[in-house]
Structure 1
Amino acid sequence: MISVRDLKKVYDSFTALQSVDLEIEDGEFIAILGPSGCGKTTLLKLMAGFMKPTSGEVIIDDALVASPRQLTPPEERNIGMVFQSFALWPHMTVREHVMFPLLHHRFTAKDLKKNMRERVETVLELVGLKQLAGRYPAELSGGQKQRVALARAVAALPRLLLMDEPLSALDVELRMEMRREIQRIHRKTQSTIVYVTHDQSEALAMADRIVVMNEGRIEQVGTPEAVYTKPETEFVAAFVGKCQLMKGTWEEGVFIPEKLPLERWKDHGVSVKLKKKGFYPVRPEQWRLAPGGERGEGGIVTLVQYQGKEIHYTIQVENEEWEVHDSVYSPRFYVGDEVSLSLRSFAETREAALV
């Protein structure tokens, strides 16, 4: 178990982390999600042991590993690291990269050291690199290099695997492939994974829980579904799922949107913070479009983007632009069309997502 308690990190006059508290269970896959400069990489570095916190502490398996007065360096922690830049050694083959932690990691179990060659072959098989074991990094593609970095990190079966935006340098197809690879490795090794990313789709697809950060603070912690469907703050609503924060009035658990006064929306778990500010978060796929003049108030289509199974519309409603994602099997609208908008029920939203 990892405990982060009241953690703060200050660089000169800049506060990178502000009183962060977090508990991570053994075997969990945690994604730390947020924009550039939000403090997520600083938090990862403090967990790894690359620097001391200004205040607070990090505890791993009941042992204090970081505080303002104490720091256990990375090599003395049972961790593996995967970096954005791969960090491979040009003079070592793929097999030598995988063998390195087995030879030098102080926490490598005796049975792994005893059966080192067998373990190397098992890990190479796990990441699909058995046929490339004799190659050097210069002879590998980007995806293959990332697999080597993963193999090296998991070879010694560390208790904690830290990943700092490991897929950001890869193209879209490779990222999708490597997501599946990382999930498969997690299931096989049962290591605890802390995965830093700015990509919400990665976090939603892979993590058991997501930690959403902004300006050095944790905004929300929860399952991917909870973070996506029930954002607790304005930032989470806008950053994860690109919600439209509708302004309006709450009356006895029912929301009356300011710009759609004919609508009455039920409370499906809107947070207290958003209610107090008179907001109701609506995701793009929750909107129902109809030709102008039908029930509901509306606007004008200003942009249409075909996305395969979805059409992404931009709707001008007075002085605002609202995003709407609709199925290609729904009635089609075009730039300049007048449309009315209403809110789908949660059942309709789920049904539309399955089409």
Structure 2
Amino acid sequence: MSTVVERISKKFGETTALSSIDLTIEKGEFVAILGPSGCGKTTLLRLLAGFEKPSAGSITMNDELIATHSQTVPPEKRNIGMVFQSFALWPHLKVKEQIQFPIQHHRYVPETLKKNSGERVREMLELVGLSKYGERMPSELSGGQKQRVAIARALAPQPALLLMDEPLSSLDAELRMDLRKEIQTIHRFTKTSIVYVTHDQGEALAMADKIVVMKDGQIEQIGSPEEIFLRPETMFVAKFVGKANILRGSWTQHFFKPEGETSVVWENKSVSTEMRNDGLFPVRPEQLVVRKSGCGLQGIVRNVMFQGKEIHYSIEVNGNLINVHTNSFHRYHVDEKVVVDFKLESDLPVYSEPLVGI
């Protein structure tokens, strides 16, 4: 069954945190809520959890109305699980007891699961790779192990919806990459609906079936990772997710002429109508190429960052900085004059699989 958010708004005094949000979370779907700090993503998660009451609109879960401006079902009476950024493990309970607690006390747990709680605990520990850690206390675990316990605890009572509030943000980079893969595996195995709040574009692109990009309490765009990354509908989505350069100029059908240029014309068929109408062209750094000479935008290299397989350039063109990511086979230097050109669409990568690991 699905969770449906209809025209949800939330105000704190005179401040509007959310404005008329519509969102459907299908059964088994992994939805990432992506946006910068203060965009309203955590407020939306708290409304789904029951920690806040909406100022307007409604939330329906499994055909049951659970929240309106006048009444709301409390968190303990919703069929949800929650994973927090801070782990939130009970310091006095062993790992296996952490997982067993919601099985015994969650109101939606099937009776057969309660009767076989020991087996369910063993199953959850195996799922998160902690089969040998059931007798340990939280103080004896690493950060990554604590988060695995938190995930196992949230999944143990078989919730209809799992809410995850930036669960990897307090972990180091390598561990975050490992847990991304584990969360994906767990999702495929359990088929639980997940709402995952993050400000990390890489996490959202790597794990989600659907991404909801938010800004200033409103939804900017909803789509698959490929749609959000390759076909942004607004300037904000282009810059926040794809780290795109926003070039100004004029469009004639699918052909773009940069502002102030007479001989440079670039073709692109994936730019939204809204951005074409505004004379904008979002160009991701990897869509550009740097040459010593030839046709393109004349510029001067202002910054060079070697990144192993790539080199990241900041190039000044007509007083504006353009970011370009190229391979490391040929290197340009600071203050060197170069030409920046757009790659032919036939040379751009075609993503037929989810953009895992970006």
TM-score normalized with structure 1 length: 0.96
Q: Which residue of 1 aligns with 2:301?
A: 301
Is 1:66 the counterpart of 2:67? The answer is yes
Is the Cα contact below 8 Å between 1:32 and 1:195 reproduced in 2?
Answer: yes
Distance 2:112 2:226 in 1: 40
Q: Which residue of 1 aligns with 2:342?
A: 343
Q: Which residue of 1 aligns with 2:126?
A: 125
Is the Cα contact below 8 Å between 2:242 and 2:284 reproduced in 1?
Answer: yes
Q: Which residue of 2 aligns with 1:310?
A: 310
Q: Which amino acid aligns with 2:294?
A: E
Distance 1:240 1:202 in 2: 11
Local SS of the residue matching 2:348: helix
Distance 2:95 2:188 in 1: 23
Q: Which amino acid aligns with 1:315?
A: I
Q: Which amino acid aligns with 2:311?
A: I
Is the Cα contact below 8 Å between 1:259 and 1:297 reproduced in 2?
Answer: no
Distance 1:347 1:317, change over 3 A: same
Q: Which amino acid aligns with 1:310?
A: E
Distance 1:179 1:298 in 2: 41
1:145-156 paired onto structure 2 within 5 Å: 145-156=146-157
Local SS of the residue matching 1:255: strand
Distance 1:339 1:173 in 2: 36
1:36-51 paired onto structure 2 within 5 Å: 36-51=37-52
Alpha-carbon shift at residue 181 of structure 1 (Å): 1.0
1:156-196 Cα deviation digits (max 9, x unpaired): 11110000000000000110011111111101110000000
Is 1:75 the counterpart of 2:76? The answer is yes
Q: Which residue of 1 aligns with 2:212?
A: 211
Q: Which amino acid aligns with 1:12?
A: G
Q: Which amino acid aligns with 1:126?
A: L
Distance 1:133 1:47 in 2: 31
Q: Which residue of 2 aligns with 1:14?
A: 15
Alpha-carbon shift at residue 5 of structure 1 (Å): 0.6
Structure 2's unaligned 5+ residue stretches are: none
Local SS of the residue matching 1:285: helix
Is the Cα contact below 8 Å between 2:268 and 2:345 reproduced in 1?
Answer: no
Q: Which amino acid aligns with 2:96?
A: R
Is 1:239 the counterpart of 2:240? The answer is yes
Which range moved further: 132-141 or 266-275? Answer: 266-275
Local SS of the residue matching 1:130: coil
Distance 1:110 1:259 in 2: 71
Q: Which residue of 2 aligns with 1:161?
A: 162
1:19-74 Cα deviation digits (max 9, x unpaired): 11111111000000000000000000101111210000001111110001120111
Is the Cα contact below 8 Å between 1:4 and 1:59 reproduced in 2?
Answer: yes
Local SS of the residue matching 1:187: helix
The count of aligned residue pairs is: 351
Is the Cα contact below 8 Å between 1:262 and 1:297 reproduced in 2?
Answer: no
Local SS of the residue matching 2:125: helix
1:258-337 paired onto structure 2 within 5 Å: 258-291=259-292, 293-329=293-329, 331-337=330-336
Distance 2:117 2:350 in 1: 51
Distance 2:59 2:220 in 1: 20
Is the Cα contact below 8 Å between 2:297 and 2:317 reproduced in 1?
Answer: no
Alpha-carbon shift at residue 316 of structure 1 (Å): 1.0
Cα root mean square deviation, aligned? 1.4
Q: Which residue of 2 aligns with 1:116?
A: 117
Distance 1:85 1:235 in 2: 29
Alpha-carbon shift at residue 317 of structure 1 (Å): 1.0
Alpha-carbon shift at residue 240 of structure 1 (Å): 0.7
Alpha-carbon shift at residue 297 of structure 1 (Å): 2.4
Structure 1 runs of 4+ aligned residues shifted over 4 Å read none
Distance 1:253 1:164, change over 3 A: same
Is the Cα contact below 8 Å between 2:267 and 2:345 reproduced in 1?
Answer: no
Is the Cα contact below 8 Å between 1:260 and 1:296 reproduced in 2?
Answer: no
